[in-house]
Amino acid sequence: MNNNKVHQINHPLLAHSLTILRAQETATAEFRRHAGIASTVMLIEATRHLGVDAKSIQTPLAATTGSQLAGRLVVVPVLRAGLAMLAAAQELLADAPVGFLGLERDETTAIAREYYQKFPGGTLSGSTVLILDPMLATGGSLADTITAVQTRGGRDVVLVCIVAAPEGIMRITTEFPDVSLFTASVDSHLDERKYIVPGLGDFGDRYFGT
């Protein structure tokens, strides 16, 4: 990965949780728990670039100056698998409004179809937009999401994925060179059904127990 917009996160907690997420025998409850851990680590790394403003506060002992996040931050999980990362985002960024884009992949063509869209009112201009999707396979769903966000004025766009395929990374970095991508793993390839190998199966099915 020579592209300076693509960041593969290395962290012992993340590697541990990713191994459990990959394992075929991991049950739904354990899958959900480690999806939350992985998402938290990823989001902490993906928000390192956020700006802060100085803030004067009073501690129980003295006055001091701390920091508070500057600017507007919007979180956009790609339905439905992106919902698995939303709880971690809301825990870390409780004040951030949430937008939604629902995309469903046709199992025959691997092309995503939009079935729902709802963004916070007004423009996204000036906002940092975190797009959450655990799996970056072909890049079709994320390309559609980025386009929808940019159409509404979003320019500082950050993708947070747990597992990514080289094919999807290539598409996103080619079509959207200014978008940053954070992932826990760059896997080997896509198979003939456009599933990530070795991957972890269908993230949404495993997370929601469907």
CATH number at residue 39: 3.40.50.2020
Q: Is residue 58 part of a domain?
A: no
Q: How confident is the model at residue 111 (pLDDT cuts 50, 70, 90)?
A: low
Q: Is residue 1 part of a domain?
A: no
Predicted local confidence at residue 164, as pLDDT? 97
Distance separating alpha carbons of residues 170 and 165, to the nearest angstrom:
9
Place of tokens 């501690």: 59
Q: Measured between alpha carbons, how far is 75 from 89 in angstroms, rounded to an integer?
A: 8
For residue 182, tell me if it sits in a domain.
yes
Residue 193 belongs to some domain of the structure:
yes
Q: Which token pair is 74?
A: 């919007």
More confident residue, 111 or 16: 16
Task: Judge whether 36 and 87 are in contact, CB under 8 Å.
Answer: yes
Residue 180 has pLDDT above 70, yes or no: yes
* Count of domains observed in the chain: 1
On whether residue 61 sits in a domain, the answer given is: no
Alpha helices in 74-190 (DSSP H): 83-92, 140-151, 166-175
Domain that holds residue 105: 6-50+69-208
Q: What is the mean pLDDT of residues 6-11?
A: 96
Q: Specify the pLDDT at position 105.
A: 63
Query: Is residue 140 in some structural domain?
Result: yes
pLDDT band at 107 (very low <50, low <70, confident <90, very high): low
Residue 167 included in any domain: yes
Active site residues: 105, 109, 202, 205
In a domain, 183, yes or no: yes
Write down the H helix ranges in 25-110.
28-46, 83-92
Global confidence as pTM:
0.90
Does the pLDDT of residue 3 top 80, yes or no?
no
Q: Is 32 helix (H, G, I), strand (E, B) or coil?
A: helix
